[in-house]
Structure formats: C-alpha cells, structure tokens
Amino acid sequence: MKLNIQKGIDPHTNEIVWLMLDDRYEVVEPIQRYLTYLSTGKSPNTVEAYAYDLKFWWKFLELKTLVKCQVVRRVATG
C-alpha cells in the first residue's frame, strides 16, 4: 500500500492538519487517530515529522508481514 501525507486546513479552527492517505486517497485510521491526538498539543512541524516516521514504520510492518508469509509458504511447499 502506498501512503501519502497530505497537509490541510481544519475548516473549523483554521489550523494546519496532517492526513495519512492510502493509495485510494482514503484516511488510514490507526495512523490518523494518533496524528489527530498529537495535533492537540504539538506544533504542526512536529506532527508532520511524526507523520513521516509513522509512514516509514507502517511500510516496515508491511514488509515484515510479507516476509513472514513467504517463509511460511516456502516451508509448507518445500
């Protein structure tokens, strides 16, 4: 899954918000909940930095899951 970080403006507060979107441009809920939590007390630059870190972490977790599935498949067929 390709992740995109998008900067926006909250129409109610006029404050900067950061969104984590997937390849269909839908919000990635687990990450977005945390970014929303952070935005209540952190600067927008800090939230942006966390967004990029979470993007890389999410990709790492996807890779580990893929590798684990390949190992199980090789043992089962091999």
Give pLDDT tens digits for 14-70. 999 999 999 999 999 989 999 999 998 899 999 999 999 999 998 888 888 765 555
Which run of H or of E encompasses 3?
none
For 60, other C-beta atoms within 10 Å of its C-beta total: 10
pLDDT at position 7 is 96
Instruction: Look at residue 8 and tell me whether its pLDDT is greater than 90.
Output: yes
Instruction: Look at residue 72 and tell me whether its pLDDT is greater than 80.
Output: no
Alpha carbons 47 and 52: distance in angstroms, whole number: 9
Tell me the three state secondary structure of residue 72.
helix
Give residue 32's Cα distance to chain centre: 7
Domain positions in the chain are 4-77
Alpha carbons 18 and 2: distance in angstroms, whole number: 16
Name which residue leads in pLDDT, 18 or 76.
18
pLDDT at position 32 is 93
- Contact present, 32 and 17 (Cβ < 8 Å): no
